Amino acid sequence: MRWIPLGLALLLGACGEPRFDGLAQALAENDRGRALLDAGDPAGAAEAFARAITLDPASAELELWRARALAAAGDLPGAIDATSAALRKRSGDGVALYNRACYRARLGETEKAMIDLDAALATGAVSAQRAARDPDLQALRDDPLTRDRAPRPTLRCAAELPSEPVFIGAPLTLTVRAAFERGGALDVADLGERSALFRLARALEEVETEGDLTRVELSYELRPVAPGEGSLGPLRVTVNELVCEVAPLPFTVLGPEGFIPPALGLGPDLSPPSALVAGLALPGFTRRGARILARAEAGDELLLSPTPETITRLELRERGLTRWVGVDAHTAAPTQVTVRRGGETLLEETR
């Protein structure tokens, strides 16, 4: 038999299974707090999170949840104190700094809020695009002391039109690019005199999202139908109530002397494809006066009968992949729209 020293034996006898009762209760209170918050009882949620903190005092997350509940209950000073407690437990936390900036901005402490926001943006935990559209930070955008430093929604745009002369019948591509915070509908309008020298043959919309930023490239294939010189624009790009303008773009169309243009010059409508067919199902079809709009899945067969004299092909792509295709046509006569997929007719309607 092997003898064990008495001291060691007593020590071993004192050892038992680890106990996690406190942490389990803290987790239960945390779950209760979240449930109460979802149920519309922020005051009760704050009390549950406070009990959880007494059981797990090292948790920064519980402090942040308590701050959120207090803010929802209207206790902004309490929310600031709770968030400060979270930062003492986890210094430099970007989310905590951002949340405290929001609470301080709502309370009117704009200078302190701006300091917190700058620190939060420096961590990379939140983006300037998110801060720019956060209603909790509106006070920073309104206060004369902070409005020049506060992130604001931005819209950047540009447009290109080939400078070389183009002959009648040859395609001329107008490219419009825009970058803006994610969300909102993009609109493009020609503020100049609508040119009767072109008809719009194709409109392609390419959309790419990266985090909170959306980039859109619109390519309009214009078909010259008459000789002459002029300009397209100025163009106005709008999204989320923001406006960006592009200076007029000059063009020259060459053609034989005495050329009589066909009656196709409707002038380019620069509405993005997604805006033209907003609200249409897939497949979908609508008539607006003499205008016919239809869209279908990529790869579907989309037919109009009788074929209108003027028809614009529409296409929406995301990161190079076609999401849907469509048509924009003008005719006063009743038109049958048919959409087929794999030999099966999905839509057949006359309006």
Instruction: Judge whether 103 and 79 are in contact, CB under 8 Å.
Output: yes
Q: Is residue 318 part of a domain?
A: yes
Looking at residue 332, its pLDDT comes to 86
* Residue burial 151-160, b: 16+ Cβ < 10 Å; e: rest: bebebebebe
Looking at residue 7, its pLDDT comes to 41
Q: Is residue 68 part of a domain?
A: yes
Residues 90 and 203 in one domain: no
Looking at residue 10, its pLDDT comes to 33
Looking at residue 2, its pLDDT comes to 39
Dihedrals phi, psi of 156, to nearest 5 degrees: -115, 140
Q: Is residue 1 part of a domain?
A: no
Looking at residue 100, its pLDDT comes to 96
Residues 121 and 195 in one domain: no
- CATH number assigned to the domain comprising residue 310: 2.60.40.10
Taking the mean position of all CA atoms in its chain, how far away is CA 107? 28
Q: Is residue 132 part of a domain?
A: yes
Looking at residue 199, its pLDDT comes to 86
Residues 189 and 244 in one domain: yes
Q: Is residue 8 part of a domain?
A: no
Q: Is residue 92 part of a domain?
A: yes
Residues 244 and 282 in one domain: no
Q: Is residue 310 part of a domain?
A: yes
Could you say which of 273, 308, 338 is where a domain stops? 273
What are the strands of the beta sheet with 228-232, ordered from one edge?
166-167, 249-254, 228-232
Could you say which of 226, 247, 273 is where a domain stops? 273
Both tokens of residue 308? 């209108």
- CATH number assigned to the domain comprising residue 267: 2.60.40.740
Both tokens of residue 43? 């005051």
With tokens 């930070």, the residue in question is: 137
Q: How many CA atoms lie within 13 A of 206 on its CB side?
A: 10
Q: Which amino acid makes up residue 227?
A: P
Could you say which of 248, 273, 298 is where a domain stops? 273
- CATH number assigned to the domain comprising residue 117: 1.25.40.10
Residues 297 and 250 in one domain: no
Give how many domains the chain has, as a whole number.
3
Residues 231 and 297 in one domain: no
Residues 104 and 173 in one domain: no
In tens digits, what is the pLDDT along the chain, a chain of 351 residues?
334 343 433 333 344 444 445 678 888 888 998 999 999 999 999 999 999 999 899 999 999 999 999 999 999 999 999 999 999 999 999 999 999 999 999 999 999 999 999 999 999 888 887 898 889 999 999 999 998 899 888 889 999 999 899 998 889 999 999 998 877 788 999 888 766 788 889 999 999 988 778 899 999 999 888 888 888 889 999 998 889 999 999 999 998 877 766 655 556 789 999 999 988 999 999 998 889 999 999 999 999 999 888 889 999 999 889 999 999 998 888 999 999 998 899 999 998
Looking at residue 15, its pLDDT comes to 41
Q: How many CA atoms lie within 13 A of 181 on its CB side?
A: 15
Residues 162 and 136 in one domain: no
Looking at residue 262, its pLDDT comes to 64
Residues 34 and 137 in one domain: yes
Residues 267 and 286 in one domain: no
Looking at residue 224, its pLDDT comes to 87
Residues 238 and 130 in one domain: no
Residues 343 and 235 in one domain: no
Looking at residue 24, its pLDDT comes to 81
Q: Is residue 186 part of a domain?
A: yes
Dihedrals phi, psi of 130, to nearest 5 degrees: -65, -45
Q: What domain range includes position 301?
A: 277-350
